[in-house]
Amino acid sequence: MRQRSVISRRATAAAAAGLALVTAAACAGPQDGDAQGGGTGGDGKPRKGGTLTVLNAEPQTDFDPARLYTSGGGNVPSLVFRTLTTRNREDGAAGTEVVPDLATDLGRPNADATEWTYTLKEGLKYEDGTAITSADIKHGVERSFAAELSGGAPYLRDWLIGGSTYQGPFKDRKGLASIVTPDDRTIVFKLRKPEGEFPYLATQTQFAPVPRNKDTGTRYEERPLSSGPYKVVRNENDGERLLLERNPHWSQKTDQERKAYPDTIDVRSGLDSAVINQRLSTGSGADAAAVTTDTNLGPAELARVGADKELAGRVGTGRFGFVNYLAFNPKVKPFDDIKVRQAISYAVNRTSVINAAGGSALAEPATTFLPEKKAFGHTPYDHFPAGPSGNPDKARELLKEAGHENLRITLTHSTEQNRQTSPEVATAVQEALKKAGITVELQGLESNAFNEARWDAKKTPGFFLSRWGADWPSGAPFLAPIFDGRQIVEDGSNYNHAQYDDPAVNREIDAINKLTDLDAAAQRWGALDRRIGKLALDVPLFHPVYKRLYGKDVKNIVISDWTGVLDISQVAVK
């Protein structure tokens, strides 16, 4: 499944990926996370066989490894496309680790982490029995540079030497010189700057092998060659229905991560979220062996599930690295005044906001920008303690000092009913600020217009609702796009909403990127978050929680902290 996380790095990259990202950003959200269950799914040992049905809202559009934007290789895509590395398929925090997949290890960096070498496992085969070679991985990465196969994350374009100008293998047959394949099992990536987190990037589907002689360009998505445990048998209406069957040439011996219990996986999308939840809760017929990878329980449904023990036992709970926040653009008055930003931080009533987001079961209060997980380097802080329901007195005091009594401001939000950047959340903020004497005018924009406005450096609103999701569980894809001054994009998608450019912070980001010790890096990301938090460039509001139903017959529920969603590759229906 498409994780649709947000993120981008530098100007060149973002400019190219801008459009795709805007769409991706628009959809970023709990739709695509899933749940953590802690193995509550059914009893008895999981066995092979049966058909697993996936009931989804979003179709698997453009099911081509070059075009998918995933976190950790996605859920459904990961059944078909194996990548150099992948996410650890384990419950909870262990699931945030990156592990080898096609490669024998996580990659061997050179001294300054600008060169990464991978060796493929032996005996790897496609669904047609032919061997997977390192040249196929190289071709897979290269084709994601083709304009007609755009859609993936922009990192490759930014990181690889020559990536910013490369046009893809269809226009430039020589290929990308920064990817070298000394032999059939070895591949080397040469980066233009140190990137200690390259193994995380190698989990994305762009690192899936695509043999050059089987590449049909834009038509490859109709019949992609599988390297994973399942092959695509049918793909109707551009991913609306995807029927997957066992790939006989996939071997458990080379793949420790995917369990592949069901014989068939039937992905049906384009369903209404209420329909999905109703079908899962009723669980009649094939729906008893059904899961969803993109549909949360809504607050009203949650109220019902809470009263039903049987249903409550079939809810998987998970946390994807995600934050919803109020963003300031200090270029717009009065947000240039830190006291105004602090006052708003104090005035926010997180209880109301969380209720607007669906209640305490679906959202947890956030005072830090980084999600509350070790992998992200979460370091607790609350620089402007508002308590659960806000501190309007302190806010008034600050506004008085700043000479901004009877402040009138505009809060920009989306009209999309997503309970994240939606009118409900905006209204809750408006009501809380009213208590501090701030009059908030709401400006609701249709979701595309909203994304255009908030990601455009020239017309970024002064005060708006925003959200950010992780491309992989680390502080880097969280903090760098938003607080790295060199990532301010004038023409294209700019995620540095405050247009914050502090050379010291930029240097620290570079220094952390050099680290290949991911734990050490995480700690420093946490410290950096804490440091930037003092500037009140944003008000973290909440981290969403994913609650998803699964069918009665579904077993072996694994929900990692990487995706926050039930991992289809682990599920059994027998």
Partner 1 sequence: MSTVAHEPAAAGGNALPPAAPGGAAPADGGGTARAVLRRLRRRPAALISAGVLALLVLLALAAPLITALTGQDPHTYHDDLVDSARGGVPVGPLGGVSAEHWLGVEPGTGRDLLARLLHGARISLLVAAGATVVQISIGVAVGLAAGLGSPLLDSLLSRVGDILVALPMLVVGIALTAVVPADFPRPLLLILLIGALGWGGTARIVRAQTLTLKRLDFVAAARLSGHGPWRVARRELLPSLGAPVITYAAVLLPANIVVEASLSFLGVGVKPPTPSWGQMLSSAQTWFRADPMYVLLPAGLLFVTVLSFTVLGEAVRTALDPREASRLAVGTRRERSGRPAGRLNGRLSGRLNGRPAGRPSGRSGAAQGPRPALGPSEPLKSPGPLRPQKKTLS
Binding site for partner 1 (CB under 8 A): 274, 298-304, 306, 349, 351-352, 354-356, 358-362, 389, 410, 415-417, 423-424, 426-428, 430-432, 434, 441-446, 449
Separation CA 91–CA 98 (nearest Å): 13
The CA distances from residue 9 to 164, 445, 488, in Å, are 12, 26, 9
User: Which residue is associated with the tokens 């329901």?
Assistant: 389
Nearer to partner 1, 216 or 417 (CB): 417
Q: Minimum distance from CB of 430 to partner 1 (Å)?
A: 7
The CA distances from residue 443 to 25, 439, 464, 503, 516, in Å, are 19, 13, 9, 34, 44
Which conformational region is residue 515 in: left (phi greater than 0), alpha (psi within -120 to 50 degrees), or beta? beta
Q: Minimum distance from CB of 411 to partner 1 (Å)?
A: 11
Nearer to partner 1, 234 or 304 (CB): 304
Phi, psi of 237 (to 5 degrees): 50, 50
Q: Minimum distance from CB of 571 to partner 1 (Å)?
A: 26
Q: Minimum distance from CB of 304 to partner 1 (Å)?
A: 5
What's the token pair of residue 111? 């001294």
Reply yes or no: is the peptide bond before residue 299 cis, omega within 30 of 0: no
Separation CA 483–CA 505 (nearest Å): 8
Q: Minimum distance from CB of 321 to partner 1 (Å)?
A: 23
Q: Minimum distance from CB of 25 to partner 1 (Å)?
A: 18
The CA distances from residue 555 to 263, 385, 393, 456, 494, in Å, are 14, 43, 52, 45, 43
For β-strands 408-414 and 439-445, DSSP reports them as parallel
Nearer to partner 1, 453 or 488 (CB): 453
- For 211-250, b/e burial (b = at least 16 CB within 10 A) is beeebeeeebbeebbbbbbbbbeebeeebbbbbbbbbebb
Nearer to partner 1, 117 or 351 (CB): 351
DSSP 296: P
Radius of gyration of the chain (CA): 23
Angle formed at CA 215 by CA 69 and CA 570, multiple of 5 degrees: 45
What's the token pair of residue 162? 């020559």
Nearer to partner 1, 48 or 434 (CB): 434
SS3 276: helix
Nearer to partner 1, 84 or 432 (CB): 432
Separation CA 320–CA 35 (nearest Å): 9
Report the candidate in 206, 252, 200 with the shortest Cα–Cα distance to residue 86: 200
Separation CA 161–CA 168 (nearest Å): 14
Phi, psi of 545 (to 5 degrees): -120, 135
Q: Minimum distance from CB of 416 to partner 1 (Å)?
A: 7
Nearer to partner 1, 379 or 466 (CB): 466
Nearer to partner 1, 47 or 434 (CB): 434
Separation CA 497–CA 453 (nearest Å): 11
Q: Using N-to-C axis directions, what is the helix angle for 11-27 and 447-454, rounded to 10°? A: 150
Nearer to partner 1, 111 or 307 (CB): 307
Nearer to partner 1, 424 or 484 (CB): 424
Nearer to partner 1, 1 or 426 (CB): 426
Q: Minimum distance from CB of 455 to partner 1 (Å)?
A: 16
Nearer to partner 1, 301 or 553 (CB): 301
Nearer to partner 1, 115 or 301 (CB): 301
Separation CA 449–CA 59 (nearest Å): 23
User: Which residue is associated with the tokens 């990548």?
Assistant: 83
Report the candidate in 268, 412, 262, 400 with the shortest Cα–Cα distance to residue 337: 400
What's the token pair of residue 118? 């991978």
